Chains A and B, each alone.
Chain A
Amino acid sequence: MKIQSLSEAEVLRTLVTSDKGLSHEDAQRRLNEYGLNEIKDVRKKPLYLKLVSQFIHFLAILLWIAAALSFLSDYLHPGESMFTLGFAIIAVIFINAVFTFIQENRAEKAVEALKKMLPFYVKVFRDGNEKEIHAREVVPGDVFLLNEGDKIPADSRLIDASELKVNNAPLTGESEPVLRDPRAFDGELIESANILFAGTTVISGSGKAVAFATGMTTEFGRIAHLTSAVEAGRSPLQKEITRATRLVATIASAVGLTFFVLGFLIGRNFWDNFIFAIGITVALIPEGMLPTMTLSLAMGSQRMAKRKALIKTLTSVETLGAVTVICTDKTGTLTQNKMAVTKLWVNDKIVDVKDLYLYKDKIYELLRIASHCNNARFMDGQYKGEPTEVALLKAVREALGDLKSERIKEIPFDSERKRMTTVNLIEGKVFVFTKGATEGLLPLCSHLLMNGEKAPADEDLRKNVIDASHAMMDMGLRVLSFAFREIESINNISMVKGADIENNMVFAGLIGLEDPPRPEVPEAIKKCTEAGIKVIMITGDGSRTAGSIAREIGLIKGAPVVVEGHGFNQMSDTELRAKLLEKEVIFARMTPKDKMRIVSILKDEGEIVAVTGDGVNDAPALKKADIGIAMGMSGADVAKEASDMILLDDNFATIVNAVEEGRTVYENIRKFITYIFASNIPEAVPYLAYILFKIPLPLTIIQILAVDLGTDMLPALALGAEKPTPGVMKKPPRKLGEKLLDMPVITRAYLFLGPIEAIACMFGFFWVLNNGGWIWGVMLHPNDMLYLQATTACFTAIIITQTANVFACRSSKESVFSIGIFSNRLIFYGIMAELLLQMFIVYHPFGNRIFGTAPLGPDVWLILIPFSILLLAAEELRKVYVRKHEVK
């Protein structure tokens, strides 16, 4: 038993109601049972809990402990600036938490957009009388009347109708109004003409319906449920950040603990060891990494916006670079959505539209049907209507001018019948005109029009029509068939059904319409192929048309796997999975609801999936995909709200540009991570020297934080703005197992760049101490001017070598001179800001007070600058070696 297949009496019985509606008491009881008729968000982790979780993850806990120990240390052992440090560490926790929270979260308003599509008030029958109630109070079993312009409040079964047409676009994506019929129907609910869906609108006519599902149990509610509940999961970058921070935090705490114990063993006192343990932990944690990453992603999203891709979640910037599969719509994304008639088939011949004048007399009947069986209009110098109908009208007007007739009946197009019929009065004669899919229309024809004469439609002629239709589809055309018949005067026209008049027709010919591909698309597809990204076309068009367009734009080259809507629904997930693993796949005759299944299976297989969508029904798939891409020009608000990225120009090429930008962002993140991690070594080595060689502490913790959260930040951000490297779209997407913080990055930062910087800072420290007459083994007071200058020299050495390091990190293999010293001006701004901050810290009394520094003489600068030259030279040599090694 299905609600759509029941008679009116059975429907009322099933829903325990009557055609006079429910009683007030019964309605109240049902309201209590089934709840309000409203769209709700599913329960999720509240935003405040998500924010709280940023303060209690592993790294944060480690930092909380460090802060607490600092405060304890200050309480038990005042005068070591541990109180300031405690606050500085808490500031680090807050900065990281806030930036990560901003990066990972955004306001989700898709369900809010869905709510707006339901009506506010509705007239229902209660106790046999019509009564206006709030739409939220509609319950299953409520009977209500419908008139033109009404929004439907709940999924309902039609029990009476007069020429009732509704616009189901929010659910099906079909913009054409569809005629509803209260008779029982033994098919799927979504295809039933006797079912009205919540959120859709009555375009014309009137009817009476009984609600059978309300609120979240409607089809609309189902979409809301999926849109709200489905989650793409953590992005590759989020996973990598978690891994990297846990790894670094583990290393830092392990090193801290090890040397704490070692300090004891070599006879250091508790407080020295304590300061050391906290210092080494803070030194090895790259405090600036998360804020820099967030700001870098924000800059990436700005660059994407300039390329017409609006990013809504920051981590999506990088996810785009990891995309392995793009599932894309055809119409409007790969093509221009500008329909034009290009070919006609008449008299057994395919004719080009520009040669129409040669066949004017032979094509008159065909064009007459195309003109009259058409709802497009030419008004005020403009064509108005659905793109296919506009294209037909335009072709007719250009060939024959305006044709007049009086329309007395229309049986609208619907996806089940796949045809539209009109009855027109022309010069006193009554004609039936039909246009639609060949497979549906040809069997209704008894004759074919050949040279203006009717010929019996024998098997040969029928085969010719089918062959011609296929040939035109193979040219990438959307093919429509046209037929007509003349009938005697017609009685009781309003009661006439399609089957009464759509028979014994004369087949007039075929018209092929082209929706040309966007000119940028073939190049974009080529880029995807080179970049190892699989592109899957999902279209409502037939397989031949889809295949032809796919071939034209270079999407397919061999024999692709073509899955059509009907077969798709019959397939098990296992079968579909096997199809999706094929190299070239096209999905034809699909509806938006099918997308989520495709996306789910691809994600199950470990793919990183981007999917396009524009309708309400696309929202769940957009949410499920790693990157949901909504159309900015033609997309519904719900789709835009559910997406991660909005294409401002609806163009496929923009997706590919965004992928390129995403890959660049990932490359750049690796660059600034190398840069940031390199400075951890000169921050850590002074502590090791302090604990092992019994020297004054060469670098204070607050100076470490000045580097990590101050001077390093802007140059690192400038690295985040590096341009794409030439080969970025010529290599496959990075593998899921590929780590952000992998061995090459760690080795280069910790074992090559870092040690050079460490030598520089220790050299600077001892240079100042030595010139100041320091004798080995003498511990200096923290406020001793010599000590302050020595630590300042150590600190300055890091800054100076980092200015060279920023150039070194612009590429892991290419010479900085080959990529152009001045090709990223932001680097210079970053260095300028870094040096200004350094000047403030070293030469301003306020900076001196906060960071425990003292002004340095020019000699110290002069002896440190060669180290930056050394770093750059060593790095250039390393790159030469790497390039040669790669060539070999």
Chain B
Amino acid sequence: MYKRILAAVNEFTNSEIAARYATALAKSSQAKLSLVFVAEDKLNRDAFRHAENALERLFMDAQEQDIEVESITEKGSPFEKISDIVRKGRIDIVFTATRREDIEKRYFTKTLAREFMLKLPCSVAMARIVRMARTHPKNILVPLRGQMTHLEERGCFAARLAEVFNASVTLFHLSNPITSFFHGEIHLKPAQRDKRIPRDIEQFTECLYRYQIRHEKKTGYGAVSRSITIEAAHKRNDLIIMGASERTLLRSIVSGNPVEEVLRETPSNLIILKPRLEHL
């Protein structure tokens, strides 16, 4: 699946933690891992040293796990440099960690994360680390909706991570509520909700079967982002993997953006995947 994985590391600890997921995926996929630190011009000496140390620790860790690894340190604009490495090195997926600004700025406007998501020519996994000590997930929550693109890649991404951590997966589907003018929202029992699970999710579960991943399907109701965070908090999921938002800026402003809302309030570590692999 993924042959070349890039993990972007910076002076923040969460990038190091996010890179551990990249390491795990590299091990599972037997892929080459490129650990990249791009120092911005304004970076001070202490931050630089911190990032270098992180890079070194990750490098050693990958080597210990017999992963083919390289460490790259560059200076300049992180997006431009990483973009360059991605193109030249034919990288399949980039792992990056969210920064504070990604959480605070609405709709990610003009953030590095948004640039990575929109402009890199490969898949992007953006991790938000809220629990440093939970990087070896035991149960992964994967919220799904119908009519998703790149189902095979999404399925295999979750399956590979679950495989390497020996984790179970909960596929969580939220159906649109049925409402009527006089009765308001009509309560559906789980059996009725199960019937509304889109068929294309089967393609996702096939991947889980292929990798022999323990998994269960679950349905929920109510506001999408709130239901996902409640489920994760209630079931103590260690990791949430969800697809990147495909909503336009206008639609996000009008009817909200569940991905952004989960990013803000997630009780567990979160990976937002923007899949772009055409051939697995």
Q: How far is the CB of A724 from chain B (nearest CB, A)?
A: 29
Question: Which residues of A130-176 have CB atoms within 8 Å of chain B's CB atoms?
Answer: 140-141, 157
Residue pair A32, B189 in contact (C-beta under 8 Å): no
Q: How many residue-residue contacts, CB under 8 A, span A and B?
A: 104
- For B16, the chain A residues whose CB sits under 8 A away are 16
Task: Report the Cα distance A26→B11, complex, angstroms.
Answer: 9
Residue pair A225, B267 in contact (C-beta under 8 Å): yes
Task: Report the Cα distance A553→B43, complex, angstroms.
Answer: 71
Residue pair A217, B131 in contact (C-beta under 8 Å): yes
Residue pair A229, B133 in contact (C-beta under 8 Å): no
Question: Which residues of A12-40 have CB atoms within 8 Å of chain B's CB atoms?
Answer: 14-16, 25-26, 29-30, 32-34
Other-chain contact of B46, A25, A42, A596, A600 (Cβ < 8 Å): A25
Residue pair B13, A33 in contact (C-beta under 8 Å): yes
Task: Report the Cα distance A42→B225, complex, angstroms.
Answer: 12
Q: How far is the CB of A628 from chain B (nearest CB, A)?
A: 16
Q: How far is the CB of A515 from chain B (nearest CB, A)?
A: 31
A212: interface (CB < 8 Å): yes
- For B130, the chain A residues whose CB sits under 8 A away are 34, 216-217
Residue pair A141, B100 in contact (C-beta under 8 Å): no
Question: Which residues of A179-222 have CB atoms within 8 Å of chain B's CB atoms?
Answer: 212-213, 216-217, 221-222
B210: interface (CB < 8 Å): no
Residue pair B183, A572 in contact (C-beta under 8 Å): no
Residue pair B234, A33 in contact (C-beta under 8 Å): no
Question: Which residues of B242-269 have CB atoms within 8 Å of chain A's CB atoms?
Answer: 261, 264-265, 267
- For B211, the chain A residues whose CB sits under 8 A away are none
B interface, size bucket: 35 or more
How many residues of chain A are within 8 Å of chain B by beta carbon? Answer: 46
Other-chain contact of A15, B50, B132, B182, B222 (Cβ < 8 Å): B132
- For B229, the chain A residues whose CB sits under 8 A away are 42, 225, 229
- For B222, the chain A residues whose CB sits under 8 A away are 233
Q: How far is the CB of B194 from chain A (nearest CB, A)?
A: 10
Other-chain contact of A29, B12, B233, B234, B265 (Cβ < 8 Å): B12
- For A243, the chain B residues whose CB sits under 8 A away are 182-184
- For A234, the chain B residues whose CB sits under 8 A away are 184
B276: interface (CB < 8 Å): no
Encode A826-856 as 1/0 by CB contact (under 8 A) with B: 0000000000000000000000000000000
Q: How far is the CB of A201 from chain B (nearest CB, A)?
A: 22
Question: Which residues of B159-205 have CB atoms within 8 Å of chain A's CB atoms?
Answer: 181-184, 187, 189-190
A2: interface (CB < 8 Å): yes
Task: Report the Cα distance A395→B161, complex, angstroms.
Answer: 58
Residue pair A216, B218 in contact (C-beta under 8 Å): no
- For B218, the chain A residues whose CB sits under 8 A away are 573
A226: interface (CB < 8 Å): yes
B216: interface (CB < 8 Å): yes
Max chain B Cβ within 10 angstroms of own Cβ: one of A2, A33, A233, A604: A33
B226: interface (CB < 8 Å): yes
Residue pair B182, A247 in contact (C-beta under 8 Å): yes
B230: interface (CB < 8 Å): yes
Encode B210-237 as 1/0 by CB contact (under 8 A) with A: 0000001010001000100110011010
Task: Report the Cα distance A600→B230, complex, angstroms.
Answer: 11
Max chain B Cβ within 10 angstroms of own Cβ: one of A225, A230, A246, A736: A225
- For B57, the chain A residues whose CB sits under 8 A away are 16
- For A3, the chain B residues whose CB sits under 8 A away are 133-134
Task: Report the Cα distance A33→B54, complex, angstroms.
Answer: 16
- Nearest B residue (CB) for A34: B130
B47: interface (CB < 8 Å): yes
Encode A566-587 as 1/0 by CB contact (under 8 A) with B: 0000001100010000000000
Task: Report the Cα distance A32→B50, complex, angstroms.
Answer: 15
B136: interface (CB < 8 Å): yes
- For A140, the chain B residues whose CB sits under 8 A away are 13, 132-133
Residue pair B132, A212 in contact (C-beta under 8 Å): yes
Other-chain contact of A14, B12, B133, B138, B233 (Cβ < 8 Å): B133
Given contacts A26-B50, A30-B13, contact A605 B189 (CB under 8 A): yes
Given contacts A222-B267, A246-B182, contact A577 B190 (CB under 8 A): yes
Residue pair B267, A216 in contact (C-beta under 8 Å): yes
A620: interface (CB < 8 Å): yes
Residue pair A226, B136 in contact (C-beta under 8 Å): no
- Nearest B residue (CB) for A620: B234
B14: interface (CB < 8 Å): yes
Task: Report the Cα distance A151→B267, complex, angstroms.
Answer: 23
- Nearest B residue (CB) for A221: B267
B83: interface (CB < 8 Å): no
Task: Report the Cα distance A43→B233, complex, angstroms.
Answer: 16
B111: interface (CB < 8 Å): no
Q: How far is the CB of B24 from chain A (nearest CB, A)?
A: 11
Given contacts A246-B181, A247-B182, contact A225 B233 (CB under 8 A): yes
- Nearest B residue (CB) for A25: B46
- For B264, the chain A residues whose CB sits under 8 A away are 43
Give 7 new A-B contacts, CB below 8 A, not counting A217-B267, A222-B267.
Answer: A29-B11, A33-B13, A213-B133, A222-B233, A226-B234, A242-B184, A243-B184
- A-side interface residues toward B, CB under 8 Å? 1-3, 14-16, 25-26, 29-30, 32-34, 42-43, 140-141, 157, 212-213, 216-217, 221-222, 225-226, 229-230, 233-234, 239, 242-243, 246-247, 572-573, 577, 596-597, 600, 604-606, 620, 736
Jot down 29 A-B pairs with beta carbons below 8 A, ordered by A: A1-B136, A2-B133, A14-B133, A16-B132, A26-B50, A29-B11, A29-B47, A30-B13, A33-B12, A33-B13, A34-B14, A42-B265, A140-B133, A141-B132, A212-B131, A213-B131, A217-B131, A221-B267, A225-B230, A225-B265, A229-B230, A572-B216, A597-B234, A600-B234, A604-B190, A605-B190, A606-B189, A620-B234, A736-B187
